[in-house]
Amino acid sequence: MQETPIVDAHAHVFRQDFPLVDNPARTPDYDFAEAEYVKVLDAHGVHFAILSAGSLWGDYNDYIFETTRRNKRFRGTVLVQPAIERYVLDRMNEDGICGIRLSPIGLKSRPGLDTFEYRRLFKRVADLNWHVHIHVEGARLAEVLPVLEKWSMPIVIDHLGRHDGPDGIRSEGFAEMVRAIERGRTWVKLSAPYRVGPAAPDQVKELLRRIGSDRLIWGSDCPFTGFESKQTYQNQLDWLDGCIPNPVDRQKIFGLNALKLFFT
């Protein structure tokens, strides 16, 4: 696809014996461990990856930082309780963790992100030069992004911002996402188009038109939990490649932007 190293900025590794949260959205009946994911990366010429904590396992992040500790082609983001101590975060930082994930999607109300507990957490994240990546319905970005932007940490929005409703690029959530990118500390993952729907390519093109390619990164969402029988890794490379006509933009989105954000 390109000479610049490719970075998969969103993937999951797990085993069936991981402890699940109460009432999980699904229960995977297979393992997708580091060794299997490495084979997938190598088969598709992908050089580096960001392992994202999955909401199915809550703050059970053990396997992520065990993997990032031993394999330097990986970085990781973790789900944490807001009371986590700085000492624990420091140890994770040494082991290749580079950010936290917030995943309030599907909740009736968002967590109290403007409480002292979260203000303390975000200050610690900012002090470590980590990022926070957020997975929430697009319609709720307008209530979440202003809270996160109070802190000097990069913000990464999952899965095109999840503007999967009928309004799409005309929604207030999409407009708020664009405004956040323009303010200079927000990136968007062009990942999991199948979770967004048929409008995903139009959203990519609209983002390129309005804000260019400097704040966009690619992620596979491998192994596509809930969509395993319908998606392949090559599909995730091909759909986005087809949305980006400019080779310079492709180099940035598939590699350069993520290298700067996660590996420097």
Model confidence band, residue 2 (pLDDT cutoffs 50, 70, 90): low
Backbone phi, psi, residue 50, to 5°: -110, 120
Q: Tell me the per-residue pLDDT of 26-47, one tens digit each, with 9 for 90 and over.
A: 999 999 999 999 999 999 999 9
Q: How many helices (H) and strands (E) does the chain have?
A: 10, 8
pLDDT, position 110 = 64
3-state secondary structure of 99: strand
Average pLDDT over residues 141-151: 94
pLDDT, position 60 = 97
**Superfamily for the 7-262 domain:** Metal-dependent hydrolases (3.20.20.140)
pLDDT, position 251 = 97
User: What distance, in Å, lies between the first and last C-alpha atoms of the chain?
Assistant: 23
pLDDT, position 120 = 97
Burial label for 170, CB within 10 Å (0-12, 13-18, 19+), is exposed
pLDDT, position 217 = 98
Q: For residues 257 and 222, what is the distance between their CA atoms, to the nearest angstrom?
A: 20
**Angle in degrees, CA 186, 57, 112, rounded to 5:** 50
pLDDT, position 247 = 95
3-state secondary structure of 77: strand
User: Backbone dihedral region of 160: left (phi > 0), alpha (psi from -120 to 50 degrees) or beta?
Assistant: left
- In the predicted model, is pLDDT for residue 22 greater than 90? yes
pLDDT, position 40 = 98
H or E element in which residue 85 lies: none
Q: For residues 214 and 205, what is the distance between their CA atoms, to the nearest angstrom?
A: 14
- In the predicted model, is pLDDT for residue 106 greater than 80? no
Q: For residues 252 and 259, what is the distance between their CA atoms, to the nearest angstrom?
A: 9
Q: Tell me the per-residue pLDDT of 156-189, one tens digit each, with 9 for 90 and over.
A: 999 999 998 778 999 999 999 999 999 999 999 9
Q: Give me the amino acid identity at 74.
A: F
Model-wide pTM > 0.85: yes
- In the predicted model, is pLDDT for residue 203 greater than 60? yes
In the chain, where the domains are located: 7-262
- In the predicted model, is pLDDT for residue 1 greater than 60? no
- In the predicted model, is pLDDT for residue 127 greater than 90? yes
Instruction: Say if residues 151 and 185 touch (Cβ distance below 8 Å).
Output: no
| Nearest partner of 123 among 91, 148, 87, judged by Cα | 148
> What tokens appear for 164 in the block?
């999967």
Instruction: Say if residues 8 and 46 touch (Cβ distance below 8 Å).
Output: yes
Instruction: Say if residues 148 and 122 touch (Cβ distance below 8 Å).
Output: yes
Q: Tell me the per-residue pLDDT of 229-261, one tens digit each, with 9 for 90 and over.
A: 999 999 999 999 999 999 999 999 999 999 999
Number of CB atoms found within 10 A of residue 94's CB: 11
Q: For residues 260 and 24, what is the distance between their CA atoms, to the nearest angstrom?
A: 34
